[in-house]
Structure formats: structure tokens, C-alpha cells
Amino acid sequence: MFKRIKEDIEVVFEQDPAARSYLEVILTYSGLHAIWAHRIAHALFKRKFFFLARVVSQISRFFTGIEIHPGATIGRRFFIDHGMGVVIGETCEIGDNVTVFQGVTLGGTGKEKGKRHPTIKDNALIATGAKVLGSITIGENSKVGAGSVVLHEVPPNSTVVGIPGRVKIQDGVKIRKDLNHSDLPDPVADRLKELESEMAKLNKELESLKKERSQVHGH
């Protein structure tokens, strides 16, 4: 248990340059408090103390602003940055070395039974305000850009951006864990550039046809 606690604290220092001391991290990091509370709630949930598990979960939500259902399965070295507004559903499965930012929702899409929340594989990163909905899988080493809404499977080593989320596959190259929120691929902007290029070509062809026509009429 103490080894896991130490590991959780070390992840904060690795991921957050603002962390200055062990005392500061232990006392003031709500993401860390939410993870520790979830471990207790999840242990109660597995032993079928469902009511007590939900009580622990709701107390944690009140103090941290982070809602993690006691049934969710979370791996090692999970890091929640800031965390306010994070929601993690009952049947979520989160692997090791996963990072999520504030406002992230790992939720369902309706009242379906069984596995209805996402599976997040190892080394994935879910950026600020992203929504990952339904029983889908975010592959290993993948990143979900800020504000994206993901409704479909994401392959490993991918970047997803937009509403709905679109995959930008990095062709077998492992994506770095660090995410520059201001430097993400934008498929909509890319398509607009393609359309502008096509329009420029059409304008050139039209001008050429006009010149030919004026030359014919001139003769």
C-alpha cells in the first residue's frame, strides 16, 4: 500500500512542474485525494458494500470536484491534473500511466446495460474538456485533444481531435506523453485549406477559359 502511495506522489512530480514539495502534493492535490478515495471505494464495491462505496465516492466528489464511480477499474500511476469536473463511469477500465485533465468525461451514451463506459489503455492522455463516450477503447499511447468528443474506437499510437473526434494516426511512431494543447492537428482546418487550393485552381482555369474566349471573339 505504501509503495502505491509513494508511486502516486512521484507521478505528480513527473507530470506537474508546479509541484514543489511532498507536503504540498499530499495536502493540496485534489486529483491525488480522489484517487486515494477511489481505492477505498473500489475495495468496498468489490466486497459488495455498494452503499458504503457510494458514500465514500460522494464525499470525495464533494471535497475534490472529481466524480469516480466505485466500480471503475483504475491502473497504476494514474494522474488527474487539476481535476475539477472529471467524471469517470462505473464500467470504465483505465490502464497504467494514464493522464486526464480537468473537465474530462469518461461516460456512457444512454441507458444500456453491461459494459457501457470507455476502456483507456496504457499511456493514453485525455486533454482538457474531452468527452469519451460509450463502450469504446482508446488505444495505447494515444492522445485525445482538448474539447474533443470521441464516440468511436481509437487505434494505438493515435491523436484524436474535433467534434466528433477524428483520428490522426502517427504511422507506428510512438506518440510522446506530453501534449501541447495549442499545437494539435485540425482536420477541419486541413480540409478548408484543401478546398481553398481547389478553388484557386478552378479560378485559374476559369480565367484561362475567359482569355481563350476573348481571343476567339477578337478574331
pLDDT at 175 over 60: no
Residues 139 and 204 in one domain: no
User: What gap in Å lies between CA 158 and CA 138, rounded to an integer?
Assistant: 9
Write 211-216 long-range contacts (CB < 8 A, 24+): none
Residues 150 and 194 in one domain: no
Copy the grid coordinates of residue 38.
477511489
pLDDT at 168 over 60: yes
Which CATH number do you get for residue 102?
2.160.10.10
pLDDT at 33: 93
pLDDT band at 200 (very low <50, low <70, confident <90, very high): confident
Residues 197 and 151 in one domain: no
Report how far apart, in Å, the C-alpha atoms of 105 and of each of 12, 77, 144, 158 are. Answer: 21, 19, 12, 19
Residues 122 and 202 in one domain: no
pLDDT at 219: 58
Q: In terms of residue numbers, what domain contains 196?
A: 186-219
The mean per-residue pLDDT over the stretch 199-209 comes to 86
Copy the grid coordinates of residue 98.
494514464
Least confident window among 92-96, 130-134, 204-208: 204-208
What is the distance, to the nearest Å, from the Cα of residue 206 to the centroid of all Cα atoms in its chain? 46
Residues 190 and 146 in one domain: no
Residues 130 and 201 in one domain: no
pLDDT at 218 over 70: no
pLDDT band at 191 (very low <50, low <70, confident <90, very high): confident
**Is the torsion defined by CA of 146, 81, 116, 152 positive or negative?**
positive
The mean per-residue pLDDT over the stretch 1-10 comes to 82
User: What gap in Å lies between CA 98 and CA 108, rounded to an integer?
Assistant: 19
Residues 167 and 86 in one domain: yes
User: What gap in Å lies between CA 59 and CA 44, rounded to an integer?
Assistant: 14
Closest CA to 142 of 117, 159, 130: 159
Residues 45 and 16 in one domain: yes
Domain count, the chain: 2
pLDDT at 125: 93
pLDDT at 178 over 60: no
pLDDT at 173: 53
User: What gap in Å lies between CA 12 and CA 72, rounded to an integer?
Assistant: 21
The mean per-residue pLDDT over the stretch 67-94 comes to 91
pLDDT at 16 over 90: no
pLDDT at 44: 95
Beta carbons within 8 Å of 34's beta carbon, 6+ residues apart: 60, 64, 66, 68, 80, 83, 86
Whole-model pTM: value is: 0.72
Highest mean pLDDT among 53-57, 172-176, 199-203: 53-57
Residues 138 and 191 in one domain: no
What do you get for the CA distance between the two ends of the chain, in Å? 93
Work out whether strand 158-161 and strand 166-169 pair parallel, antiparallel, or are unpaired.
antiparallel
